[in-house]
A = this chain, B = another copy of it.
Amino acid sequence: MAAISFELIKKDPGSLARLGSLTTTHGSIQTPIFMPVGTQATVKAMTPEELVEVGSQIILANTYHLYLRPGHELIARLGGLHRFMHWDRPMLTDSGGFQVFSLGELRKISEEGVNFRSHIDGSRHFISPEVSIAIQEALGADIAMCFDECPPYPAEYSYVQKSLELTTRWAQRCKNAHQRPDQALFGIVQGGMHPELRRESAKQITDIGFDGYALGGLSVGEEKEVMHRMMHECSDILPENSPRYIMGIGAPEDLVEAVNAGFDMFDCVMPTRNARNGALFTSFGRINIKAAVFAEDQSPIDPACSCYVCRNYSRAYLRHLYRSQEILASRLNSWHNLHYFLDLMAQMRAAIGRGEFSSFRKDFYAARSQQL
């Protein structure tokens, strides 16, 4: 029996948006969904209970970081990542590929895998497709990802082509290595910003066959317009009856465009990272809480928001906490931003359920044009 099952519940009549249900070893997820990122076995500044309260159904953890510290074998000995971090709901681990390639000068790629130095202490390490799968099986998330190469942007066409072929060979090695029956394995489609290479990659990856499919290598520096066009070019090259995931996406408008293009799963550090820098998401666009205009502002971050933070704290207080570099600033800002992202997904699911995604999308952009 497969480690996951995906049911397509409804297709929106006026767009490619779709409503689905993904059942994993640790429970079911309603899609489309955003996955908060818990890089080091914690979604920064949040407890697991708070993640549930803001509407998280599944979270993502980073293989690269956990391999280095505290080590996947230690986590396995302690009963796996779910138990280690007190999260008993669905979880996905990335492959470590993207993080390793982001090391730049610190890594070297070969057919066999990637040699790199730790960003923590400079120590030497090697990750191959087989090693990545072994780490991910030790961590024990519900969904593991294939180890892929993410080409830089911009990159030569011929480089991107060679890279996607390496990613395909690595995907086959990942599939061969993967054994854990309670863990799904997703393939990753590369191909840069070239639709024909994306198509070629999708064919090779789907020929191998995985439990779900992701687009890697987006949001790597390209223009928003290019990113959104790639989403539209790439959704129908992935099987309709499998979950479709775009990795590392994104800003609220990217999520709306990705759902509009027929994708189901997303992850990004944006809500939590921006929160720690004082940048807050609202129904009328982004605000920065450190602005002097908020010094005596008694209103909540977003009067339209129902989250714990907006129910109990003023912009003036949040500005004070931020300026005073208080931990509670990071907490409350992260809480609100995650609620915003997850509520946006819930609103999109409701709109698809009503068959009105196109009008939701129109309203979304109209609200943002109302400036504060």
Contact = CB atoms under 8 A, between A and B. Distances in A.
A74 B295 contact: yes
What is the total number of copies of this protein in its complex?
2
Interface string A41-59: 1101111000000000000
A317 interface: yes
Contact of A42 (B84, B319, B321): B321
Interface string A306-330: 0000001110110111011011101
A119 B166 CA distance: 58
A84 B295 CA distance: 12
Given A296-B77, A296-B78, A70 B316 contact: yes
B316 A78 contact: yes
A41 B331 contact: no
Interface residues of A, number: 34
A227 B201 CA distance: 74
Contact of A320 (B45, B69, B79, B296): B69
Contacts of A41: 317, 320-321
Given A85-B317, A314-B78, A330 B327 contact: yes
Contact of A323 (B44, B69, B319, B331): B69
A28 interface: no
A44 B314 contact: no
A323 B295 CA distance: 35
A341 B152 CA distance: 53
A196 to B, nearest CB: 42
A224 interface: no
A206 interface: no
Contact of A44 (B44, B70, B295, B328): B328
A328 B78 contact: no
A86 interface: yes
B327 A331 contact: yes
A241 interface: no
Contacts of A327: 44-45, 327, 330-331
A21 interface: no
Residue with the highest number of chain B CB atoms closer than 10 Å, among A40, A317, A326, A328: A328
Interface of A: 40-42, 44-47, 69-70, 74, 77-79, 84-86, 295-296, 298, 312-314, 316-317, 319-321, 323-324, 326-328, 330-331
5 contacts: A47-B328, A78-B314, A79-B298, A84-B316, A327-B330
Given A42-B328, A84-B314, 9 more contacts: A40-B324, A41-B317, A42-B324, A45-B328, A45-B331, A69-B324, A70-B316, A70-B319, A78-B316
